[in-house]
Amino acid sequence: MQATRDFSHYVRDIGSGVRHIDLAVEGVSCAGCMSKIERGLSAMPDVTLARVNLTDRRVVLEWKQGTLDPVSFIDRLAELGYKAYPFETAGAEAAEAKQSRFLLRCLGVAAFATMNVMMLSIPVWSGHAGDMIPEQRDFFHWLSALIALPAAAYAGQPFFRSAFAALRTRNVNMDVPISIGVMLALGMSVVETLNHAEHTYFDAAIMLLTFLLVGRYLDQSMRLKTRAVAGNLAALKAETATKFIGADEISEVPVEAIKTGDIVLLRPGERCAVDGTVIEGRSEIDQSLITGETLYAAAGHGTAIYAGSLNISGTLRVRVSAASEGTLLAEITRLLDNALQARSRYVRLADRASRLYAPVVHATALLTMLGWVLAGASWHDAIVTAVAVLIITCPCALGLAIPTVQTVAAGAMFRAGVLLNSGDSIERLAGVDHVIFDKTGTLTLPDLEVMNAADIPEDILRLAGRLALASHHPIAAAVARASNASSPLAGAVEEPGQGVRGLFDGVEVRLGRPSFCGAEQLAHDSLSLDQEASMVAFSMGEARYLFAVRQALRPDAGAMISALSKRHIAVEILSGDREPAVRAAASALGISEWRAGVTPADKIARIEDLKSRSFKVMMVGDGLNDAPSLAAAHVSMSPISAAHLSQATADLVFLGKPLAPVVAAIDFSRKALHLMRQNLWLAVGYNLLAVPIAISGVVTPLIAAAAMSGSSLLVMLNALRARRVAPGGA
Amino acid sequence: MEVLVILVPLALGLGLVGLLGFLWSLKSGQYDDLEGAAWRAIADDEPAREPPLD
The answer to whether residues A439 and A659 touch, using CB atoms and an 8 Å cutoff, is no
CA pair distance A431, A423, nearest whole angstrom: 15
Where chain A has pLDDT below 70, the residues are 1-5, 90-91, 128-130, 322-331, 340-346, 394-396, 527-531, 727-730
**Interchain pair B47, A119: CB under 8 A:** no
CA pair distance A721, A699, nearest whole angstrom: 32
CB distance from B24 to chain A under 8 Å? no
- ipTM at complex level: 0.81
β pairing state of A543-553 and A635-639: unpaired
The active-site residue, picked from A6, A438, A577, A651, is A438
Look at residue A195 and give its three-state secondary structure: coil
Q: How far is CA A639 from CA A178, A445, A560, A575, A629, in A?
A: 39, 10, 15, 16, 15
Which residue from B31, B25, B45, B28 is spatially nearest to A38, judged by alpha carbons? Answer: B45
Q: What is the pLDDT of residues A604-648, one digit of tens each?
A: 899 999 999 999 999 999 888 888 888 889 999 999 888 777 887
What is the CB neighbour count within 10 angstroms for residue A684?
A: 19
Please report the beta strands in A523-597, taking only residues with DSSP state E, as ranges in sequence order.
534-540, 543-553, 570-574, 593-595
User: Which pLDDT score is estimated for A395?
Assistant: 63
User: Which pLDDT score is estimated for A120?
Assistant: 87
User: Which pLDDT score is estimated for A343?
Assistant: 61
Please report the beta strands in A77-217, taking only residues with DSSP state E, as ranges in sequence order.
84-86
**Interchain pair B32, A105: CB under 8 A:** no
User: Which pLDDT score is estimated for A129?
Assistant: 55
Q: Output the pTM of the full model.
A: 0.80
DSSP structure string for A397-426: HHHHHHHHHHHHHHHHHHHTTEEESSTTHH
User: Which pLDDT score is estimated for A325?
Assistant: 46
Which residue from A513, A474, A477, A551 is spatially nearest to A294, judged by alpha carbons? Answer: A551
**Interchain pair B36, A54: CB under 8 A:** yes
CB distance from A515 to chain B under 8 Å? no
Alpha carbons within 13 angstroms on the beta-carbon side of residue A279 total 12
CB distance from B41 to chain A under 8 Å? no
For testing contact with chain B, the best of A30, A34, A213 (most B CBs within 10 A): A34
Q: How far is CA A571 from CA A316, A458, A489, A560, A589, in A?
A: 40, 39, 46, 11, 10
CB distance from B30 to chain A under 8 Å? no
CB distance from B3 to chain A under 8 Å? no
- Whether A438 sits among the annotated catalytic residues: the reply is yes
For testing contact with chain B, the best of A54, A139, A146 (most B CBs within 10 A): A54
In sequence order, the 6+-apart residues with CB closer than 8 A to the CB of A352 are: none
